Every structure is written in structure tokens, then in C-alpha cells.
Homo-oligomer: A and B are copies of this chain.
Amino acid sequence: MFVTLDEIVARLGGDLAGDGNVRISGIATLDAAGPEQLSFLSNPKYRARLAVTRAAAVVVAPDAAADCPTAAIVTPQPYLYLARVAQWLNPAPRPPLGVHASAVVEGVVSDSASVGANVWIGPGAVIGDDAVIEANCSIGASCRIGAGSWLHAGVTLYGGCRIGNRAIIHSGVVIGADGFGFAREGDGSWVKIPQTGGVAIGNDVEIGANTTIDRGALEDTVIETGVKLDNQIQIAHNVHIGAHAAIAGCVGIAGSTRIGARCTVGGAAMIIGHLEIADDVNISAGTFVGKSIRKAGGYTGSAPFLEHGDWLKNFSHLRHLDSLADKIRALEARLAELEKKS
């Protein structure tokens, strides 16, 4: 598929600088782009690469337009613009309409949906218009999958989960498994608390491979509109994630915690249970969040690394910080005593 710069600007806006007849067939980085590709400059530190790019054209911000040796599309947010071009040029190839002969369907599937090989769809489940359910998915009884949602191969939904429209759910995701809830007997053994809540997922949510979202204990686990979850995230029962939050890989969020709207959480951060995280909080990668965060802003808690020998020498003091602090206090007192005398 080829499009001209004129066609792109007509569809997506921006100011054209140079020849609108230039044709492009794809997107690439400044270094890798060839003469049929559109590139972009988003991070100013790559600006010097503009001079040497072989790209057909480059999407740039106004302040970089003068440096661009090729045709350019000038727009305040080049990366966002590029995303829209890329979506246009790379529509996901849809599998054939209809239900594969090997699928077992006990629910109801829209005529405009696609259901792949060896899928199981339980009784009472409803698969919406234009939805795609790829091979080897299991959709529990009474689930609802909204219009245009796409479940990649090997997704599992327990009974009663509700997924909005245009969701993208990647392979290995498990939604609706029992939350981890037990009462303890006197002898130390555990009695299971039946997890009778559900999972409600809004529109335009994307969920990465092998992420797990447990059903609620009594009420629902809720993922609001536009939330983006990366791979291998664990969302425990009764968590509530606000709209347009974005959470990177390997994060864990324990039970009943509420994450505000538009929050970002870096990779491998861990958030304990029963907390409140305000809207617009940015938690850095590797941070352990052990108490609520009431105010928007950036929060970090990761430890630095050192050469192994330096680590041994320095981190061993972590066991004795209190004694170090005591020594400083003692020094201050003794010094004050001396100063008084002198």
C-alpha cells in the first residue's frame, strides 16, 4: 500500500513542507528508513540524524522543520502523528469471518465475528459484532465480548466476565480467575472464600500477554476505559484501575487497591493491597508502593546497583542505619559539649 504525503496530510492534518507527491509505503526510524519510508523525529537527541536519513520524508515538530533535508510533515506532536499514520498503513489482517468448524460454540456469536480453530465458547456467552476470537481461546459461560474486540490465540475468560468494545487481549491472558482469598483455621490451614464478584473491562482497553486479572471477592474488579496493560501484570481481586492508566510489564497490584485515572506505572513496580493512588500519579519502574499516594506527581523507590564488591561494602550498612544515626546524634551531643567549653 502506497500513500502520498498529500493524502496523509489530507487525512491526518499537519503542514506539508516539500513535494506532496512523495509516496511512502511504511514507517521506519531515521537510521533504518529507505526511500519509500516515512520517518519521524520525536526525541531531540536524535536531531543530528536528520541530516543523514535516507527516508522519503520525515514527520517533525516546527522547531526541527528547518533542519529537515527531505520532504516533511510538520506537526506539534510527531510521535502521535506517526502513530496515526502507522495505524492507517498497517491495518491488522483480519481472519476469515465465521466460526471455524473445529470450534465449540455453546453461546451466541455475531455474524460479523471471527472464531478460530479449537475455540470453546461457553453457554450464554455473547460475542459482539466484528469481534475476533483466535485459536484455542476459552470463553466461559455468560461472558460478553464487545464489538470490535480482538482476543489473540490462547486467551482464557472465566464465566461472567464483561469486556467492552475494541479491546485487544493478547495471548495467555487469564481474566476472571478466583481472587486469593482465604480465612485461616486455628491449625494454620486455609478455608477458601468463594470469589463471587466479576470482572468489568471498559472500552479501548489493551491487555498484554500472560497478564492475569482476578475476579472480585464480592464486588467486581474494574478496568476502566482506555487502560493499557503490558505483559505479565497481575491484577488482584477488587482492584480498580482508572481510565487511561498505562501499566508496564511485570507489575503486581494487590487486592482492593484503586489506581487513579491517567496514572503510569513503570515495569516491575509492586503495589500492595487496600491502597489509594491519586489521579495522574507516575510510579517509576522497580518501585515498591507500600502506602497510599494522595497527590499527583512522580514517585520512585528503586535501589541503585553497584559492582558486586562495592555492593557488599555499601549495602551491608543498611542493616545498621539506625546505629549510624545514633552515632551521629552522639557525636553532635559530644561536640556541642566541647564547643560550650571552648
Contact = CB atoms under 8 A, between A and B. Distances in A.
Nearest to A312: B300
Q: State how many copies of this chain the complex holds.
A: 3
13 contacts: A80-B183, A83-B182, A84-B191, A89-B194, A92-B194, A120-B135, A120-B136, A136-B136, A180-B249, A189-B244, A268-B270, A290-B302, A310-B319
A338 interface: yes
Given A102-B102, A218-B32, A327-B328, A140 B120 contact: no
Given A252-B249, A308-B297, A286 B284 contact: no
Contact of A193 (B86, B137, B158, B283): B86
A330 to B, nearest CB: 8
A339 B328 contact: no
B226 A189 contact: yes
A3 interface: no
A9 interface: no
Contact of A234 (B231, B261, B272): B231
A36 to B, nearest CB: 14
Contacts of A92: 194
Interface in A141-196: 141, 152-154, 156, 158-159, 168, 170-172, 174, 177-178, 180, 182-185, 187-194, 196
A170 B180 contact: no
Contacts of A331: 328, 331-332, 335
Contact of A170 (B77, B136, B174): B174
A305 B322 contact: no
Interface of A: 26-29, 32, 77, 79-80, 82-84, 86-87, 89-90, 92-93, 100, 102, 104, 116-118, 120, 122, 134-138, 140-141, 152-154, 156, 158-159, 168, 170-172, 174, 177-178, 180, 182-185, 187-194, 196, 204, 206, 208-210, 212, 214, 218-219, 226, 228, 230-232, 234, 236, 244, 246, 248-250, 252, 254, 261-262, 266-268, 270, 272, 280, 283-290, 297-308, 310-322, 324-325, 327-328, 331-332, 334-335, 338-339, 341-342
